[in-house]
Amino acid sequence: MSKLYVDTDKYGYQSEFASVEAYNSAVKDLLRRKFSNSDVPWEDFVFELEESLVTKADMTAIEERLLAYGHRFEPSAMSSSQERPEAYKDSGLFNEDFFFEHEDAPTADIDDIGRMLRGAGDNVVNHENNLTGIAQYIRTSDKVLKYLTDGVPENTIAIVDDSGGTLTAPILEQFSGVLCAGGTTRSHLAILTREYNIPCLMNVKLNGIKSNDRIEVEVTARSKTADDYASGVSTLAKIWRL
């Protein structure tokens, strides 16, 4: 059997993920067969003949074998699952009925004033009054474009995953508030909302809040500082469905 450089490379390793190891092993097997049949030195195979001997069809066949076992790739871009649903897991980005279901989100039954606790997060800026508004998941450029064209409805509290703020930057000023499922109060999105004086919670965990739900956000809670993160202090601001 022909040997590849990786077979004797002292830095060679086996992946801890079965799907990655299966893919890598299939590629190595393909190269061994191609190299064995080429009847040329390894240097010539790599630098002169590999692109003509290892084709796109060969690599496609490896992927198809992996998919035939039921494996689906994690989406690497918003368009991945939309353009190739047979190869990628459904990210839920284009599902209008999507809502977060974080297992560790704090929840409770309806309280004395009709609020149902459905989550919490890290408050960026302490405000005088709690924020009430209408929740809207904004997770795709299509949704942002729609709001750019039609305008953002009044009292919209955006629920996003992008802690960098790039996706929602064109319409950020029009939000009444922002709930972000990632990042910290030092993330770029947190800095932007602080500058625009938009109430915002970062690192939000939600369970049971959908688009068009009326919600209340405890932005009167203490702001979470860098020292709080470093020392592990919990200063969660609550989120209720009304």
pLDDT of residue 8: 59
> Are 217 and 122 members of one domain?
yes
Residue 2 has pLDDT above 80, yes or no: no
Backbone dihedral angles phi then psi of residue 240, each to the nearest 5 degrees? -115, 145
Q: What is the pLDDT of residues 57-99, one digit of tens each?
A: 999 999 999 899 888 887 766 667 777 888 888 766 777 788 9
pLDDT of residue 105: 96
Domain presence at residue 88? no
Q: Which of 153, 174, 143, 159 is nearest to 205 (CA)?
A: 159
Yes or no: say if 158 and 177 are a contact pair by the CB < 8 Å rule: yes
Backbone dihedral angles phi then psi of residue 8, each to the nearest 5 degrees? -115, 0
> Are 223 and 122 members of one domain?
yes
Q: What is the pLDDT of residues 97-139, one digit of tens each?
A: 889 999 999 999 999 999 999 999 999 999 999 999 999 999 8
CATH of the domain at 177: 3.50.30.10
No. of helices (H) and no. of strands (E), the chain: 9, 7
Domain presence at residue 158? yes
pLDDT of residue 217: 98
Where does residue 167 rank: exposed (0-12), middle (13-18), buried (19+ CB within 10 A)? Answer: buried
Yes or no: say if 221 and 123 are a contact pair by the CB < 8 Å rule: yes
> Are 46 and 121 members of one domain?
no
pLDDT of residue 79: 67
- Report pTM: 0.69
Which residue range(s) make up the domain with 125?
116-241
pLDDT of residue 176: 98
Residue 5 has pLDDT above 60, yes or no: no
Domain presence at residue 89? no
- Given pLDDT bands bounded at 50, 70 and 90, which one contains residue 4? low
> Are 64 and 124 members of one domain?
no
Domain presence at residue 86? no
Longest Cα pair distance anywhere in the chain, in angstroms?
81
pLDDT of residue 140: 86
pLDDT of residue 126: 96
> Are 48 and 129 members of one domain?
no
pLDDT of residue 199: 98
Q: How many domains does the chain have?
A: 2
Residue 171 Cα distances to 8, 180, 200, 234, angstroms: 55, 15, 15, 31
Of 56, 71, 86, the last residue of a domain is: 71
Yes or no: say if 11 and 2 are a contact pair by the CB < 8 Å rule: no
What is the token pair recorded at 7?
Answer: 């077979």
> Are 51 and 130 members of one domain?
no
> Are 57 and 125 members of one domain?
no
Backbone dihedral angles phi then psi of residue 127, each to the nearest 5 degrees? -110, 165
pLDDT of residue 6: 57
What is the token pair recorded at 77?
Answer: 């871009």
pLDDT of residue 20: 83
- Given pLDDT bands bounded at 50, 70 and 90, which one contains residue 218? very high
Domain presence at residue 157? yes
Residue 235 has pLDDT above 70, yes or no: yes
Rounded-to-integer distance, Cα 111 and Cα 34, Å:
69
Residue 205 has pLDDT above 80, yes or no: yes
**Mean pLDDT, residues 49-58 taken together:** 84
Domain presence at residue 90? no
92: which DSSP letter?
Answer: S
Domain presence at residue 10? yes
- Given pLDDT bands bounded at 50, 70 and 90, which one contains residue 142? confident
> Are 50 and 138 members of one domain?
no
pLDDT of residue 153: 96
Rounded-to-integer distance, Cα 153 and Cα 135, Å:
11
> Are 64 and 141 members of one domain?
no
Map tokens 């049971």 to a residue: 208
> Are 64 and 120 members of one domain?
no
Q: Is 228 helix (H, G, I), strand (E, B) or coil?
A: helix
Domain presence at residue 174? yes
> Are 27 and 120 members of one domain?
no
Rounded-to-integer distance, Cα 162 and Cα 167, Å:
7
> Are 223 and 138 members of one domain?
yes
Rounded-to-integer distance, Cα 207 and Cα 219, Å:
19
Higher pLDDT, 169 or 164: 169
Q: Is 221 helix (H, G, I), strand (E, B) or coil?
A: coil
Residue 1 has pLDDT above 80, yes or no: no
Average model confidence (pLDDT) across the chain = 89
